[in-house]
Structure 1
Amino acid sequence: MKIKKSIFILMVIVLITILGTVLYKGEKYNLIIIASFALSCLPFYFKYENSKPKIREVVVLATMIALTVVSRTFFMLTPSFKPVTAMVIICGIVFGPASGFMCGSLSATLSDFVFGIGPWTPFQMIAWGIIGYGAGIFSKNLFKNKFLLYGYSAICGLAFSMVMDLWSVLAFETSFNLTRYLAIVLTSLPTTLIYIVSNIIFMFLLSKTMFQILQRVKIKYGITEGKIE
């Protein structure tokens, strides 16, 4: 039932994208993509809900989301240099893929109440959400190998930048323009580099301490989701 629900939602998303593209013939392609990105979060939310988390697990996740939001706000004056990605990765590794996605997507939404909510928000939600989900999938390897952890952090910096560059194209065009996208990717390389470097720096500074603290929290409250050995 859980799988059928997620498959149904994904099919609806694909159908909306195809029908919207055909009906509007590219005139509102950007709005269709934005809606598709927003709807893409639903299967992950259902996955977390279907896992039937205990109240204490929800409280711990809410605390992680709050810390992530605060960390982004604290570094408001340093554009692109923020610990959000590192926090989301750590959450995914310790608490599992579903919690990692929830932390990433909800942190993007809530922190945008400070930074400004707009059509770019779904792109941030899906980007940080997938980053957290991926961290949960590869948690054992990332937890044991620091080089893989830093490498994953760097790749996430590049991936996040490229997803947001997609939004930048749609902000200027009514349809996706590959030439403009590649141009934006090239011109945003300095920003992308900041993403990559900041992710590695914050992961270096936070990972050891946060892993220790969060592992103690898991043991204390008997949280088994995302168990790493």
Structure 2
Amino acid sequence: MNQRYVTRELTLLAMVTAACVVGRFAFQFIPNFQPLTTIFLLFTFYNGVKRGIIVAALSLVITSLYFGIGIWTVEQILAYAIILLVFQFLKKIPVFQKSLILQVIFAVVAGFLYGFIMSIFDYFIYGMTNYWVYYLQGVSFDAVHAVVNGIFYVILYPVFRYLNQRNYFSIEK
């Protein structure tokens, strides 16, 4: 690997991570209203799951330094890794890859999936007695997350498509 390639890779990851951090800070006053999930999904769509997970992990660690860091930060990274792996798998299906509607539907489902996964981790880590009661208490927050994911996906999809078409995501220049 040459130095130019490494520099381009780090620059790309840093720029997208910075966008995620700014996006999370910009909407911090509204619970579960932030563009992180959408940016992770779109970045993964055009750059692969490895880079998507790196951006997710960096974004979550950096923002957690401000909002509070704890075991939930690890849970968040794992939850997003699972979501991005599922997304990468679906991306290999041609109809999914070409359909904005199916991608938006997944973005919406990802909001609920994130809450579901986080609740599973919390259930075991904190030794809760009834998973479903705990999970159902957070469904309204998951619904906000899901709807916002769909809205941000529709808004940010053309931006990421344009950046990809202009080879801004290409590292081998």
What's the CA shift for 1:194?
A: 0.7
**Partners of 1:79 and 1:126 in 2: how far apart?**
20
User: Residue 218 of structure 1 aligns to a residue in which SS?
Assistant: coil
Q: Which has the larger radius of gyration?
A: 1
Question: Equivalent of 1:61, from 5, 10, 13?
Answer: 13
In structure 2, the partner of 1:19 is: none
1:172: how far off? Answer: 4.1
- Corresponding position: 1:189 with 2:139: yes
**Secondary structure in structure 2 of the residue aligned to 1:59:** helix
CA RMSD after TM alignment: 2.0
- 1:206 aligned residue: 156
Separation (CA, whole Å) in 2 of partners of 1:147 and 1:118: 36
Please name the residue that 1:156 is paired with: 110
Describe the superposition over 1:50-90 as per-residue Cα deviations: whole angstroms up to 9, x where unpaired.
Answer: xxx63202211121111111111111101111111000001
Q: What residue identity is the alignment partner of 1:158?
A: F
Letter in 2 for 1:74: A
1:171 CA drift (Å): 5.8
Structure 1: runs of 5+ lacking an equivalent = 1-52, 224-229
Q: Distance in 2 between matches of 1:139 and 1:55?
A: 28
Structure 2 unaligned blocks of 5 or more: none
Tell me, what secondary structure is at the counterpart of 1:120?
A: helix
Contact 1:92 1:133 in 2 (8 A): no
The answer as to whether partners of 1:86 and 1:199 remain within 8 angstroms in 2 is: yes
Q: Helix, strand or coil for the counterpart of 2:30?
A: coil
User: Equivalent residue for 2:84?
Assistant: 132
State TM-score, norm by structure 1: 0.66
Aligned residue-pair number: 166
Mapped contact 1:99–1:133 kept (Cα < 8 A): no
Query: What residue is the counterpart of 1:91 in the other structure?
Result: 43
> What is the TM-score of this pair, normalised by structure 2?
0.85
Q: CA–CA distance in 2 between the matches of 1:55 and 1:131?
A: 28
Contact in 2 for aligned 1:88/1:131 (Cα 8 Å): no
Are residues 59 and 133 of structure 1, via their aligned partners in 2, closer, same or farther at CA, if it must alter by over 3 Å?
farther
Partner-residue secondary structure (3-state), 2:70: coil
The structure, 1 or 2, with the larger RCO (C-alpha pairs under 8 Å, 6+ apart) is 2
